[in-house]
Every structure is written in C-alpha cells, then in structure tokens.
C-alpha cells in the first residue's frame, strides 16, 4: 500500500511540474505561435494537469488514512521479537503456553510408560538369566538341593516381577489413552479460541483491503474528473474563436481600418455578444478552471491593449 501511495504521490507531483513548466513556456513564447483566445485555450488545456493533481492529492490523503489505520492495527496485533527482526502475534505466546500446559500431562504419562517398558525389558532379561541358571543347576550333578531351590526361587521371583510390570504397563497405557482424550478435548477448546482470534485478524485484513480498493477506485472520483474535462471542452468550444484571433492580430498591426478586417471584426463582436449572453445564462456553479481563465483573460487583454497602443504610436 505504501508503494502504491508513493506512485500516486509521484504522479501528482509530476502533473504539477508539467503544469508549471508548460504554463511558463506558453506565456513566454512568441506571439506569432499563439495569442488571444487560442492561447487561453492552450493554457486551460495545460492547467487541467493541476486539477487532476489536486484530485490525486485527495486520493493520496485518503490512502494515507488507510495506511495509518493499517499501521495502528499492526501495532495492536503484533509485537517485535528477536530485536525487531520479525513480528509475532501478541497472543501467540499465551496460546502456546495453553497448549504446552495441556500437553504436559500427556508427556508425563508417556515418560512413565517408557520407564515401565524399560523395566519390563530388564525384567525379561533377568528372567532369561534365571531360567538359564535353573537349567544349568538341573544338569549339574554336583549341585545340591538347596542350590537348586535358590535358583528356582529366583526364577519365580523374576516371573512375578515381570508379570507385575506388565500389568503396570497395561494400566499405564490405559492411563495414557485417557490422558490423550482429555488433552484432545482441551486442545480443541484452545484451538477454538485461536480460531476466533484468527478470524478476527483475517476480517481486519479483509476490511483494510476493501478500504484500500475503494480508496484507489477511480469511479469514486469520476464525477469530479468528468467535470474538469467537460469544463475544459466547454471553454475551448465557446471561448476559442479563430475569427476573433484574426481580428485581434489585425488590431495588433494597426490595420483594423481595412475593409476585410472590419467585416471580420464585426462578425467577432456579434459572436462575442452571443457568447456573453450564453455565459450569463450558465449555471451559477463556479468553476476553478473558469475563474483561472477569467483572470488570465483580463491580464491578456490589458497586455494586448498596451501593445496595441504602442503599435499605433509607432
């Protein structure tokens, strides 16, 4: 969004520079190239860039508001970690701790079961050794009855111990299954909370994207842009007059007494009168472009009168 904002801002600045450059160029160029109503029409055409830049500035201001809202949302939702090198959701550690605490009982049960299974392995090895010892004593003719009984007692003891451990393993496995079921229920509850937070975050992103799209949508500014172009077209159509320019040129060189020039001038005066009447009947809504043209017209006419007077004196 910030990159798009910079593009729009650069475009507005480029339009203003264009307006300044070519307005200055047109005002300082030779009168042979352009003068009177044609020159004013050219200036109006150039000044349209200034009005478009103003519209772009308004869109940039609205876009800046969206960006500021997004930054506020980011600051409220995320926090900097690892010395600001990455963002982390503000509730990430809270939910991670909830999952960890809920899973702690499962981890504890698994560790207990692993220890029992390890003891079963050792008990099985002890029973295997006891069985070998009994078998060895039985086949040893030099062994006495007491020794055989001791080995037999050891064998029975190992068998009982292994049996008890296996029962404990079965009980631990059942306990682990129950613990996992409890954890799953708790994990689902925590996950439901996470989903609510995530849904809220995604909805906020959706709202920001909609605001951004609606802000940059040109249709919102279409009536204003259309008005600028319509006023320009109207000004060119009603105010630019080639015959009036020719009469103006004739006056500039002091040949208005010429019959053809007088005829042309009378036609211009007639057309000017009609335009003035139609101008008075126009909508009272003031136009920025029309105001600028009126001021320039007065300055242009004043300058023309001075030059005409100088030409006649010479």
CATH of residue 182 = 1.20.1270.60
283: tokens are: 């909508």
Q: What is the pLDDT of residue 301?
A: 52
Q: For residue 240, tell me if it sits in a domain.
A: no
**End-to-end CA distance of the chain, in Å?**
64
182: tokens are: 């409890």
Q: Is the pLDDT of residue 159 over 80?
A: yes
289: tokens are: 């472009």
pTM of the complete model: 0.60
How many structural domains comprise the chain?
A: 1
Q: Region 259-288: what's the mean pLDDT?
A: 40
Q: For residue 132, tell me if it sits in a domain.
A: yes
Query: 3-state SS of the chain: helix, strand, coil percent to 5?
Result: 85, 5, 10
pLDDT tens readout for residues 9-41:
999 999 999 999 999 998 888 777 777 888 889
Q: What is the pLDDT of residue 216?
A: 87
Percent of the chain scoring above 70 in pLDDT: 81
Q: For residue 212, tell me if it sits in a domain.
A: no
DSSP class of 127: H
Cβ-contact 81, 88 below 8 angstroms = yes
Q: For residue 261, tell me if it sits in a domain.
A: no
Mean pLDDT value across the chain: 81
pLDDT tens readout for residues 300-312:
555 555 554 444 4
Q: What is the pLDDT of residue 149?
A: 84
Query: Which residues, including other chains, have CB under 8 Å from residue 63's CB and lie 6 or more apart?
Result: 1, 4, 5, 8, 212, 215, 216
Q: For residue 120, tell me if it sits in a domain.
A: yes
Range of the domain at 158: 91-197
Q: For residue 303, tell me if it sits in a domain.
A: no
Q: For residue 70, tell me if it sits in a domain.
A: no
């Amino acid at each position: 969004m910030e990159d798009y904002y910079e593009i729009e801002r650069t475009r507005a600045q480029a339009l203003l520079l264009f307006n300044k450059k070519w307005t200055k160029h047109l005002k300082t160029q030779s009168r042979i190239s352009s003068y009177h109503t044609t020159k004013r029409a050219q200036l109006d055409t150039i000044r349209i860039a200034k009005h478009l830049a103003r519209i772009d500035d308004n869109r940039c201001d609205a876009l800046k508001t969206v960006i500021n809202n997004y930054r506020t949302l980011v600051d409220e939702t995320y926090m900097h970690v690892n010395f600001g090198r990455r963002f982390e959701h503000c509730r990430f550690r809270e939910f991670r701790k909830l999952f960890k605490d809920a899973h702690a009982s499962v981890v504890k049960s698994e560790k207990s079961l692993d220890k029992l299974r390890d003891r079963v392995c050792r008990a099985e090895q002890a029973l295997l050794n006891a069985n070998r010892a009994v078998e060895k004593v039985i086949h040893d003719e030099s062994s006495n009855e007491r020794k055989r009984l001791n080995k037999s007692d050891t064998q029975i003891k190992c068998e009982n111990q292994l049996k008890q451990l296996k029962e404990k393993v079965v009980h631990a496995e059942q306990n682990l299954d129950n613990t996992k079921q409890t954890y799953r229920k708790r994990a689902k509850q925590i996950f439901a909370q996470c989903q609510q937070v995530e849904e809220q975050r995604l909805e906020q992103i959706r709202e920001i994207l909609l605001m951004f799209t609606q802000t940059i949508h040109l249709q919102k500014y279409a009536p204003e842009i259309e008005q600028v172009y319509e006023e320009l077209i109207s000004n060119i159509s009603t105010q630019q007059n080639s015959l009036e320019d020719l009469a103006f040129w004739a006056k500039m060189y002091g040949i208005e007494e010429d019959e053809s020039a007088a005829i042309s001038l009378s036609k211009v005066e007639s057309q000017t009168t009609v335009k003035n009447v139609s101008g008075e009947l126009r909508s009272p809504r003031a136009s920025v472009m029309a105001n600028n043209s009126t001021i320039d017209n007065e300055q242009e006419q004043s300058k023309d009168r001075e030059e005409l007077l100088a030409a006649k004196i010479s």
